[in-house]
Amino acid sequence: MSAVVEVRDLRKYYGEIKAVDGISFTVGRGEIFGMLGPNGAGKTTTVEIIEGLRRADSGQVTVLGLDVRRQPDAVKARIGVQLQTTALFPRLTVREVLNLFRSFFPQSREADELIAMVNLQEKANTLTKELSGGQRQRLSVALALVNQPEIIFLDEPTTGLDPQARRSLWEVIEQVRSAGATVFLTTHYMEEAERLCDRVAVIDHGRIIALDSPEALIRAHFQERAVEFEINGQQAASFSLEDLPAVTQVRQDGKTITLYTNDVEATLAALFERGQRTGFQVDALHVRRATLEDVFLKLTGRRIRD
């Protein structure tokens, strides 16, 4: 796997705040690489340093073999950066905005090809101010693809979208990769990272606390299944479930209790038996495999949305 982005011991402090605190990683050609972390973890700072938009305090960043600090223009010509959708021209149509952006580059994709890549065929002649949130996001991805970039950077591309619009953008991102580009994205959605990314760097307080494929991260931290439920009839805090058979960990988040277990049947039987004996009912029960959310919780003791 040849590296298209190499980051070594990158640091950026804002006074007391260590926005990026010594991170290193590489991104391989053709990967969908994700940085996953809560608000303020340092994702945007990292991405903008790689794009050449901010200066690091120290460390090295190479993009496509070029030093971002010394050759920022050469880097910019070969990458695509998704703009915030507020920067779109409200009174231009989708096709007009694309053609405007195309005029900035000596070589560019055809407007129709871009429109097809992000599934906006039906909106080609619609003013951008009349697009839905999801359509605007797809247009901003198309704008990042105008110059046929080798790497495209998407900073929280689906924030604020409803689930359907989010899934539709995931399909677009997968198509972008199929068309040969490397995708670097940031997100604070676990499901997004799990579904889309070949590898994920989990970032917290400016540091990478884990980096691998979502599958490998989950496997490394959890062989167990998660049994999730709410209880009625007794204060959740007032009793312990740690001693139930096969349970390795218990987490409580508000009314929701999660048991991690190596033997779902044995744990459930004992849970119901204890409920009968001590007077609580189990509600909204479901069993699931562990997710990146569980991994983050285990690594940091917090949920990512805190």
Note the residues at the interface with ligand ATP (CB under 6 A). Answer: 14, 17, 19, 37, 39-45, 188
SS3 of residue 255 by DSSP: coil
Beta carbon nearer to ligand ATP, 169 or 227: 169
Beta carbon nearer to ligand ATP, 45 or 128: 45
Beta carbon nearer to ligand ATP, 55 or 289: 55
* Residue closest to 282 by CA, chosen among 258, 250, 246: 258
Minimum distance from residue 47 beta carbon to ligand ATP (Å): 8
State the pairing for strand pair 66-67/79-81. Answer: unpaired
Minimum distance from residue 51 beta carbon to ligand ATP (Å): 13
The dihedral through the CA atoms of 194, 195, 197, 199 has a sign that is: positive
Minimum distance from residue 202 beta carbon to ligand ATP (Å): 12
* Residue closest to 204 by CA, chosen among 50, 19, 5: 19
For residue 48, CA distances in Å to 42, 153, 154, 217 come to 10, 9, 11, 26
d(CA 81, CA 47): 10
Minimum distance from residue 17 beta carbon to ligand ATP (Å): 5
Instruction: Give me the residue label for tokens 């200066």.
Output: 55
Minimum distance from residue 1 beta carbon to ligand ATP (Å): 26
Minimum distance from residue 25 beta carbon to ligand ATP (Å): 15
Minimum distance from residue 44 beta carbon to ligand ATP (Å): 3
Beta carbon nearer to ligand ATP, 21 or 230: 21
Beta carbon nearer to ligand ATP, 116 or 209: 209
* DSSP sequence for 49-104: HHTTSS--SEEEEEETTEETTT-HHHHHHHEEEPPPGGGS-TTSBHHHHHHHHHTT
Beta carbon nearer to ligand ATP, 45 or 291: 45
* DSSP sequence for 194-236: HHH-SEEEEEETTEEEEEE-HHHHHHHH--SEEEEEEEESS-G
Beta carbon nearer to ligand ATP, 193 or 268: 193
* Residue closest to 214 by CA, chosen among 233, 201, 228: 201
